[in-house]
Structure 1
Amino acid sequence: MSHPLSQIASEAPFVARHVGPRDDEIAKMLDAVGYDSLDALVDAAVPDAIRSVGALDLPPASTEIEALDELRALSRRNQRHTQMIGLGYYDTVTPPVVVRRVLESPAWYTAYTPYQPEISQGRLEALLNFQTMVSDLVGLPTANASLLDEATAAAEAMTLMRRSIRSKTADTVVVDADCLPQTIAVIRTRAEPLGIGVVVADLDQPLPDGDVFGVVVQYPGASGRVRDLRPVIEAAHERGALVTVAADLLALTLLTPPGEQGADVVVGSSQRFGVPLGYGGPHAGYMAVRAGLERGLPGRLVGVSRDAAGAQAYRLALQTREQHIRREKATSNICTAQVLLAVVASMYAVWHGPEGLREIARRAHRHAVELATALRAGGVEVVHDAFFDTVLARMPGRAEAVVADAAELRVNLGLAGADLVRIACDEVTTDADVARVLRAFGITPEPAQGRGDGDEHDAIPAELRRTSGYLTHPVFNTHRSETSMLRYLRRLADKDYALDRGMIPLGSCTMKLNAATEMEPITWPGFAGIHPFAPVEQADGYLAMIRQLEGWLATVTGYDAVSIQPNAGSQGELAGLLAIRAYHRSNGDDQRDVCLIPSSAHGTNAASAVMAGMRVVVVAAADDGTVDLDDLRAKLDEHPDRLAAIMITYPSTHGVYEEGVTEIARLVHEAGGQVYVDGANLNALVGLAKPGEFGADVSHLNLHKTFCIPHGGGGPGVGPIGVRAHLSPFLPNHPMLPEAGPATGVGPIAAAPFGSASILPIPWAYIRMMGPDGLKLATQTAVLNANYVAARLREHFPVLYTGRGGLVAHECIVDLRPLTKASGVTVDDVAKRLIDYGFHAPTMSFPVAGTLMIEPTESEDKGELDRFCDAMIAIRAEADKVASGEWAADDNPLVNAPHPASSLVAEWSHPYDRATAVHPSPSSREDKYWPPVGRIDGAYGDRHLVCACPPPEAFQD
């Protein structure tokens, strides 16, 4: 018998922590599948034409202690200064109870997107808190459940405004010159391929001429200035345009909210609500809209519905907007969010409450006022009289020297022009910080005087002082003791199902172990406390780690260059397609705008292609699920001079290694196109095959899948792109940091130069601790686990697609349509019944309606796989009882699933007993997960759209 795990683990001990099955389990599963070794299984499953030769050229695996020591050394190379740069990023204090019980809790960070709402009620409530917090502060009725960052939210608002106005010819957006520079840059990146003109203007002047559909303004401005927005908003509305305000949530505790001034859309970041700087991310952006625009909101929206018993329950609303349904007609390609960070921000508001937030804002404002007063007394011109927390000082000829002198005192200020210095105060600013800033200006600070309460509005005009209430819901006014907060967080977590409870076998989503060692460094101050626009020499450790990680990812994928800036897979797709578009244009092939996409592809592919200015042409799938090569050839003949690219997923979305992938690449290249390989299924390739070597030109990688960044309940993610050399000049770049990308790049995709930099230690640690042999073993084990599940279920549910030798790749699709036809039991019924057995359902009805796509990953051991297979087999037997008439088609354990504890004490009139309902298997009796609600009525929730915290009375009978 071979001992693959123990042999590798002797040199790479972490591998045995990450890979679930032991050697004896591997042997038993191989026997069930019909192979005598992992190598033999992989040789049979993976086409020879794509196989890589030799081991990955990566450092040998380290121990966990060694990896942490190396990361600690890198973090110490980052210089921690007091960060007073501003520009949308502020230092903050994450409440320790939130650090320990949310940010560092696997009950929160290992959960998946709440598409199964019955087992996601805790994080859905937390997201509803987030939406309510945003809605209250900005003064608009409906907010979404977060976006990727502030700049992305502003770009999404641009397209929302364009599709929401009556005019069909308006093609220009006006952006205020006092908007954040990274926001302006991302808007430009996103606007150009859509044919939208961007005019940056001083909106103290009249709106520029032209057919304008939208206006974007910053509140307070990037310079710190606070001004009345009503004149700009009224002028825009008179022209038929909509107005988006990018607003600071903390400032809105003191300032008149944009919604009360007439704004149509408000966007921004919740970063300063307890989310560390982290060199730029991840941070939860937000968007809120006025009445009438809510059904155009991008991203996710949590709403209130009811369950089968009529009890109130939460769910994702308006799910038909998701990309896998709307595809090229989707209004956005964003299929993820920043749920974990939105939860942190919402809990910051729950912890502090409205008075606590107001006091934090008053303190930041007082420090800014004191700083401005001292600067004026010292002969320095303060540019703006009205401001919140940011002071702009004019220092003719001396601005750079002041910033340099401040840096010597370990304070980072912002250089806002040749003669301007920007100083931003925040939650952690102290009197000592103010004194150091004054010294940098050459001013001797006066001894700190007792303030008393003072005037909280010293530099806020009377007409812009907030008078309306906010955060009045009890959830924001209850949990003031740590005991209360601790129990609230525990109560929410107990309602949810995450990887710390059991397997989440979601096809295409790769819900593998997020190891504690990988997670530990993200809260270290050396990584968490760095401003994304700090001088580059202060981030030496970050840059070293990023360059190492980019090199390792290039090695794994066979590409020549990697950019880690895209902060989600969807943004990686967009970045890759923009690189292809720019490459064609550099060759004078501006007409190449057709993107071929197989009918089975991820829905984000089509949406991303449209956002990149391309025209989607669908390629048919053959009966076995592979790309129909005849149809591909026909489409290539149909568009001989306009082909830009093909987007394929490999292994295919159907979970098999397609034999024809190299032929697809050859045909597309001969036709002048580029090959984009979606990296969603890279977990079946690492150590076995490299997209950059078998014909692909570009791929995005999901670091929140293959490389262990946790899903966090629906975000954060990182979606870097790897490209071959000819596309590398067109990688993303950033106006604030030349080191972020090539000067010839397509512009920034994310607000921060390196995207969600603070979570990059996670994939760095994973690769470092696994080493080349461990990474290969993980892939082999993922393939084995999927084939073992397929082998066990094949007699009970047809496996829809297979490749060579009847094998699948790292996931398999089981077909429930024959079962539905025979019994009336649907894929939804099976998914909900799995909850009673203690499981999260596999991916439902994608890529084929009426099927389940199962991906067990390499981290699950044989015992958990068997428990899942036993549950599926038992559910099949239950469905047979329905088919035979033993149980009524409209009253059986499947159509009534899931069964919450409350159902046991209600009147019981079902033809099956209570034990069958809630304890259908031995494991469900030994370690029962109780869903907090019964099956939720989705249609009711969409008809009665409620997207903020209901009053307590709504919970009464």
Structure 2
Amino acid sequence: MLMQSARPLGELENPCEFVARHIGIEATDEKLMLDVIGESSRRALIDSIVPRSIARKNAMNIPAATTEAAALAELKAMAAKNQLFKSFIGQGYHGTHTPGVILRNILENPAWYTAYTPYQAEISQGRMEALVNFQTMVCDLTGMPIANASMLDEATAAAEAMTLAKRSVKSKSNIFVVAGDCHPQTIEVVQTRAKPLGIEIRLANSGPEWDELLKGDYFGVLAQYPCTSGRIDDLRADADKVHAKQAALVVAADLLALTLLVPPGEFGADIVVGTTQRFGMPMGAGGPHAAYMACKDELKRSLPGRLVGVSVDSHGNPAYRLALQTREQHIRREKATSNICTAQVLPAVIASMYAVYHGPQGLKRIAQRVASYTAILARGLEQLGHKPRQDSAFDTLSLHTGDQTESFAARARSMRANLRVYYREYILISLDETTTRDDIELVWKVFMGEGGALPSFDAFEKGIEPMIPTQLRRTSAFLTHPVFNTHHSETGMLRYIRALSDKDLALDRSMIPLGSCTMKLNATSEMIPITWPEFANIHPFAPRDQQQGYAELDEQLRAWLCQATGYAGISLQPNAGSQGEYAGLLAIKAFHESKGQGHRNVCLIPSSAHGTNPASAQMVGMQVVVTACDDNGNVDLADLQAKCEQHSDKLACVMITYPSTHGVFEMQVKELCALVHKHGGRVYVDGANMNALVGVAAPGEFGGDVSHLNLHKTFCIPHGGGGPGVGPVCVVEDLVPFLPGHEAGGITGRAVGAISAAPLGNAAVLPISWMYCRMMGPEGLTQATEVAILSANYISARLKDHYPTLYASANGHVAHECILDLRPMKEASGVSAEDVAKRLIDYGFHAPTLSFPVAGTLMVEPTESETLDELDRFIGAMIAIREEIRRIERGEWPQDDNPLKHAPHTAASLIKGEWPHAYSREVGAAVLGEKRHAKYWPPVGRVDNVYGDRNLFCACVPMSAYE
């Protein structure tokens, strides 16, 4: 037998191996696809689509690709530069134990982390049930009647509560009173939000100063419960004072503490906000964590964010759906009250499962242990001569340490522990679920003088009473629904989690072809680092020298993103795309003000823009002026020029999406940018479609001044069922001083304040994008963009005889997505775009983006990660559905009784009873080809949206509803 000659060692080493894993299209596939499209090469295709005037001239200066193993080793060395000290800092962030069954089966499970926002209710029943559990948990613990399905973080939730109060109360005041003993980062974010809206923030410490302010004029009041310094205030009398002023009381409350404390809903709070971080989500240097917002019933139709409600399906069974204002920022645009379109679904699911797993008794036991340890710590400190300042506490003690403050903090650090220095003269000590007896003794050692005796834990333990005032101890029940009292064994919990995930469609099952959403591979190697303790267990306000790994990660990722976008500076603080937009517009506003041109407040926005654009402009106090689009979906330059001239002296900026929301590269984008600059405005380029630009064109080079990126789109952070996200804001050189600061996080001297609670936003998921860039390298990133464009054009070409593409360039090509026009067939068949979306579920697909940006259309984005087999499977399903529509058009099936009108079909509906329809059961099942084993069965029939809004119900369904 002849042996092959040895190959050179260099050929056996492939640093670009991951690129081929990430990109689903192989060389042989590419040739076939190009033949269908009618182009000779991928290079020729890109040159025919991307305007040559904006094409990149220089390669991205990003390290060359490396292997998965090498990238993980490099990142592991970086993570090791973080120092894991025991955290007693508190300030809204606490150590917690993530139950292993939740860690492995939700946080590390692609069935949960690769799912999309549950806009298609029928394929999202599992995660929506988990979110209803979350809403019920929040309502029960806060004592409020309604809660949403999570917010971005506690600080932004407080800011949203302020604006909710402003538009909801009878008071006409412009003053919002904030307790000085709120968390510092919350105060800062509220101040940032208030300034452009003309809201005046008045801070007051407890006591006479607070009482005096409550006698004045205001529309709302924010108090922390317990306070950031640990004290538990009785807010019952304050609630009466606030309501007498026709104002709203907002309470930022600790959910774990509320298992022991009288809930805010029982003493008159109007809105309650907070974080669920300590319900099983690691600190992660600040996020992602699910915040919550609950409110009185009369405020529910103004509640920002997402709300999961209960409706019925076509068979009369209970079914979940997003309710009410779900996408109000798209519908109301410049009249929107919030630009929030991202929640924190994955962390919210974890928090809800934490409550399901522990149940009411388990949560109360954890809280009682924390409170008892706090009382024991206080007794020991008093014995050592350091009596805490307060008589009441749940988990935090405050010591007046005067000129010894820094020496005590330094002594703690020498013992690898972090205490919190508060106003230079005080030390705060916070305990949590992870606190041990050894930790208590460590703190005592910090304050024990030379030759002193260590207090005895055992001596204090017997008969210890928590430091919770008797009148503020909770007596009401919570979490009484069976779901919180059933799944306490690991076996039961495992099966419950699996049962929910089986109901859903995520990327682990099939392609999710959502236009403008970029649902691509979230590689396992990218996900591995997020649970490393060196990244997961860092407190966001730990000393900087303990966060050197995060500092290096931040610096490198920002540099790479600058290379990808052509911008000079980037902040990773925004924890959602909406927050990135907001930060970018604040930067533009602050720039104009610094030039003495604060009167520039007109923001031009094309009519095709994503709905968050005008909502964000409204939030920074800008006046939105809509500009027209032409018949091809491009910005109408003549109309834009007229608007620029009309508003020249007041022009602040223009907001465009590039490639456009219609999925095309507009040829005159450089001219557009030059026109706006000529009139003194700045150009905001929405980065939602950055997956069509990386390595091909850079907005910072072709005229953009500001962009936000969606790391949960282009740079592979999973959508997590609708969050977490990261929305970095990128700017040109002269706008770098106007990136968001963060006084509490040590980022000082900025014209724009904090926009997120943590200095690095959702820091714990940044390693995902770092790994993606490091393993792809500049060539791989460019190839990903080109293949995404190739795949979109392949779908458009294959489907052109069945569903025409609505917008395309002069040569018939599209960018990275295409809009399929279904409107012509409705008159002949009665079939709507929604009917096609629901029928796609029967074929095992998440529908493309429905009726956005044009009603009656489907916007398809395949991304670079899908294989040709999967693209063809989707195309096959769309063609099969078109043939079904033709049968309706020919009169073979009635317009009101056909497989599209009754889609999706549950297994139960196909197998039981008489079959009443004009089509067969087999047709209803929609099994394509030989892939019968891959059949997905939706758990419910079509959900009744109107019923759900008319009969709003947003808590756990009683068991009797299923009987």
Instruction: Name the TM-score, length of structure 2 as normaliser.
Output: 0.97
How much is the aligned-residue C-alpha RMSD, in angstroms?
A: 1.4
**Counterpart Cα distance in 1 of 2:27 and 2:459:** 69
1:425 aligns with 2:428: no
Query: Is the Cα–Cα contact under 8 Å of residues 327 and 341 in structure 2 kept in the other structure?
Result: no
Query: Is the Cα–Cα contact under 8 Å of residues 918 and 924 in structure 1 kept in the other structure?
Result: no
Cα distance, 1:806 vs structure 2: 1.1
**Counterpart Cα distance in 2 of 1:450 and 1:882:** 82
**Counterpart Cα distance in 2 of 1:633 and 1:419:** 58
Q: In terms of mean alpha carbon deviation, does 559-568 or 364-373 score higher?
A: 364-373
Alignment of 1:38-77 (within 5 A): 38-77=42-81
1:178 aligns with 2:181: yes
Q: What are the superposed Cα offsets for residues 787-822 of structure 1, whole Å, 9 maximum, x if unpaired? A: 000000111111000014211000000100001122
Give the direction of change, closer, same or farther, for the CA distance of 1:819–1:8 in structure 2 (3 Å limit): farther
**1:935 corresponding residue in structure 2:** 942
**Counterpart Cα distance in 1 of 2:785 and 2:15:** 18
Q: What are the superposed Cα offsets for residues 900-946 of structure 1, whole Å, 9 maximum, x if unpaired? A: 01102143110111010013422563311000000000010001111
**Counterpart Cα distance in 1 of 2:145 and 2:514:** 34
**Counterpart Cα distance in 2 of 1:454 and 1:122:** 44
**2:39 corresponding residue in structure 1:** 35
Alignment of 1:401-550 (within 5 A): 401-442=407-448, 444-449=453-458, 454-455=463-464, 457-550=465-558
**Counterpart Cα distance in 2 of 1:10 and 1:774:** 13
Q: What are the superposed Cα offsets for residues 420-462 of structure 1, whole Å, 9 maximum, x if unpaired? A: 100000000011111111111125422331777745x531111
Secondary structure of 2:914's counterpart equals coil
1:12 to 7, 12, 16: 16
Cα distance, 1:413 vs structure 2: 0.6
Secondary structure of 1:713's counterpart equals coil
1:710 to 709, 718, 721: 718
**Counterpart Cα distance in 2 of 1:274 and 1:353:** 13
1:879 aligns with 2:847: no
Amino acid at match of 1:445: L
Cα distance, 1:321 vs structure 2: 4.7
Q: What are the superposed Cα offsets for residues 344-373 of structure 1, whole Å, 9 maximum, x if unpaired? A: 000000111111111111111111111111
1:202 aligns with 2:210: no
2:902 to 880, 896, 906: 896
Secondary structure of 1:351's counterpart equals helix
Query: Is the Cα–Cα contact under 8 Å of residues 307 and 326 in structure 2 kept in the other structure?
Result: no
Q: What are the superposed Cα offsets for residues 391-444 of structure 1, whole Å, 9 maximum, x if unpaired? A: 001112111111110111111110012221000000000111111111111254
Secondary structure of 1:541's counterpart equals helix
Query: Is the Cα–Cα contact under 8 Å of residues 802 and 879 in structure 2 kept in the other structure?
Result: yes
Give unmatched runs, 5+ long, in structure 1: 1-5
Cα distance, 1:177 vs structure 2: 0.7
Query: Is the Cα–Cα contact under 8 Å of residues 698 and 721 in structure 1 kept in the other structure?
Result: yes
**Counterpart Cα distance in 2 of 1:226 and 1:611:** 34
Amino acid at match of 2:75: L
**Counterpart Cα distance in 1 of 2:13 and 2:107:** 30
**1:853 corresponding residue in structure 2:** 859
1:672 aligns with 2:680: yes
Cα distance, 1:191 vs structure 2: 0.4
Q: What are the superposed Cα offsets for residues 316-352 of structure 1, whole Å, 9 maximum, x if unpaired? A: 0114652211111111000010000000000000111
Query: Is the Cα–Cα contact under 8 Å of residues 9 and 15 in structure 1 kept in the other structure?
Result: no
**1:641 corresponding residue in structure 2:** 649
2:145 to 141, 161, 165: 141
**Counterpart Cα distance in 1 of 2:486 and 2:826:** 48
Amino acid at match of 1:358: K
Q: Which aligned runs of 4 or more in structure 1 are off by greater than 3 angstroms?
A: 6-11, 450-455
1:925 aligns with 2:932: yes
**Counterpart Cα distance in 2 of 1:32 and 1:633:** 39
Cα distance, 1:376 vs structure 2: 1.1
Amino acid at match of 1:783: I
Cα distance, 1:637 vs structure 2: 1.5
**Counterpart Cα distance in 1 of 2:104 and 2:53:** 48
**2:221 corresponding residue in structure 1:** 215
The alignment of Structure 1 onto Structure 2 pairs a total of residues equal to: 947
Amino acid at match of 2:249: V
**1:763 corresponding residue in structure 2:** 769
Query: Is the Cα–Cα contact under 8 Å of residues 207 and 236 in structure 1 kept in the other structure?
Result: no
Query: Is the Cα–Cα contact under 8 Å of residues 598 and 619 in structure 1 kept in the other structure?
Result: yes
**1:107 corresponding residue in structure 2:** 111
Amino acid at match of 2:187: I
Query: Is the Cα–Cα contact under 8 Å of residues 597 and 619 in structure 1 kept in the other structure?
Result: yes
Amino acid at match of 1:186: V
**Counterpart Cα distance in 2 of 1:319 and 1:220:** 31
Query: Is the Cα–Cα contact under 8 Å of residues 305 and 326 in structure 2 kept in the other structure?
Result: no
**Counterpart Cα distance in 2 of 1:606 and 1:352:** 43
**Counterpart Cα distance in 2 of 1:924 and 1:336:** 34
2:667 to 659, 672, 675: 659
1:368 aligns with 2:374: yes
**Counterpart Cα distance in 2 of 1:210 and 1:221:** 22
**2:6 corresponding residue in structure 1:** none
Query: Is the Cα–Cα contact under 8 Å of residues 24 and 864 in structure 2 kept in the other structure?
Result: yes
**Counterpart Cα distance in 1 of 2:824 and 2:804:** 9
Alignment of 1:376-415 (within 5 A): 376-415=382-421
2:166 to 162, 169, 172: 162
**Counterpart Cα distance in 1 of 2:791 and 2:512:** 14
Give the direction of change, closer, same or farther, for the CA distance of 1:189–1:8 in structure 2 (3 Å limit): farther
**2:875 corresponding residue in structure 1:** 869
**2:951 corresponding residue in structure 1:** 944
Query: Is the Cα–Cα contact under 8 Å of residues 823 and 879 in structure 1 kept in the other structure?
Result: yes
Instruction: Name the TM-score, length of structure 1 as normaliser.
Output: 0.98
Give the direction of change, closer, same or farther, for the CA distance of 1:591–1:210 in structure 2 (3 Å limit): farther
Cα distance, 1:10 vs structure 2: 4.3
**2:961 corresponding residue in structure 1:** 954
Query: Is the Cα–Cα contact under 8 Å of residues 66 and 775 in structure 2 kept in the other structure?
Result: yes
Secondary structure of 2:487's counterpart equals coil
Amino acid at match of 2:376: E
1:798 aligns with 2:804: yes
Give unmatched runs, 5+ long, in structure 2: 1-9
Q: What are the superposed Cα offsets for residues 30-59 of structure 1, whole Å, 9 maximum, x if unpaired? A: 111111211111011100111001321110
1:581 to 566, 579, 589: 589
Secondary structure of 2:844's counterpart equals coil
Q: What are the superposed Cα offsets for residues 675-694 of structure 1, whole Å, 9 maximum, x if unpaired? A: 00000000000001000000
**2:923 corresponding residue in structure 1:** 916
Query: Is the Cα–Cα contact under 8 Å of residues 301 and 325 in structure 2 kept in the other structure?
Result: no
Query: Is the Cα–Cα contact under 8 Å of residues 508 and 681 in structure 1 kept in the other structure?
Result: yes
**Counterpart Cα distance in 2 of 1:744 and 1:756:** 20
Cα distance, 1:207 vs structure 2: 4.5
**Counterpart Cα distance in 2 of 1:880 and 1:685:** 38
Query: Is the Cα–Cα contact under 8 Å of residues 225 and 384 in structure 1 kept in the other structure?
Result: yes
Amino acid at match of 1:19: I
Query: Is the Cα–Cα contact under 8 Å of residues 376 and 461 in structure 2 kept in the other structure?
Result: no
Give the direction of change, closer, same or farther, for the CA distance of 1:766–1:8 in structure 2 (3 Å limit): farther
**1:271 corresponding residue in structure 2:** 277
**2:5 corresponding residue in structure 1:** none
Q: In terms of mean alpha carbon deviation, does 278-287 or 312-321 score higher?
A: 312-321
**1:3 corresponding residue in structure 2:** none
**Counterpart Cα distance in 1 of 2:609 and 2:219:** 33
**Counterpart Cα distance in 1 of 2:107 and 2:828:** 46
**What is the percent sequence identity of the aligned residues?**
59
Give the direction of change, closer, same or farther, for the CA distance of 1:495–1:207 in structure 2 (3 Å limit): farther
